[in-house]
Amino acid sequence: MNKVYLIGRIAHDFELKFFDNGKRCYIQFPLAINNYNKFTGEKVTDFIDIVAFDKKAEIINEYLSKGSQISIEGHIQIGSYMDKQQQKRYSTKIILESFQFMDKKNTV
């Protein structure tokens, strides 16, 4: 089973992007998740890349922005690419399957 549940805040502005000759769209944004290091007791923030497609992307684009709190359910997707120095790099993203607005002002 590959399931992820996260609550956090959108850490950066995002832009709705289109592909498949404009038939489909997506957004990608980092979600800031507050955690505590159990060994040091210090607060740490993890930034997890989230990708949403089609109608979900359109709704998020319309109603949310940097700083908005969101609860997401999704799955992990690991990919790889070659950087400018031809070194293989790996990326981990969460593909959004469902979400809820957590800020009261953003209810639909």
CATH architecture assignment, domain 4-103: Beta Barrel (2.40)
Each of the 108 residues of the chain gets a pLDDT tens digit; together they read 999 999 999 999 999 999 999 999 999 999 999 999 889 999 999 999 999 999 999 999 999 999 999 999 999 999 999 999 999 999 999 999 999 999 876 555
Domain boundaries, the chain: 4-103
Query: 18 with 25: CB under 8 angstroms?
Result: yes
CB count within 10 Å of CB 8 equals 22
Alpha helices by DSSP H, listed for 1-108, are 54-63
Pairing mode, if any, of strands 88-101 and 43-53? Answer: parallel
Query: 83 with 60: CB under 8 angstroms?
Result: no
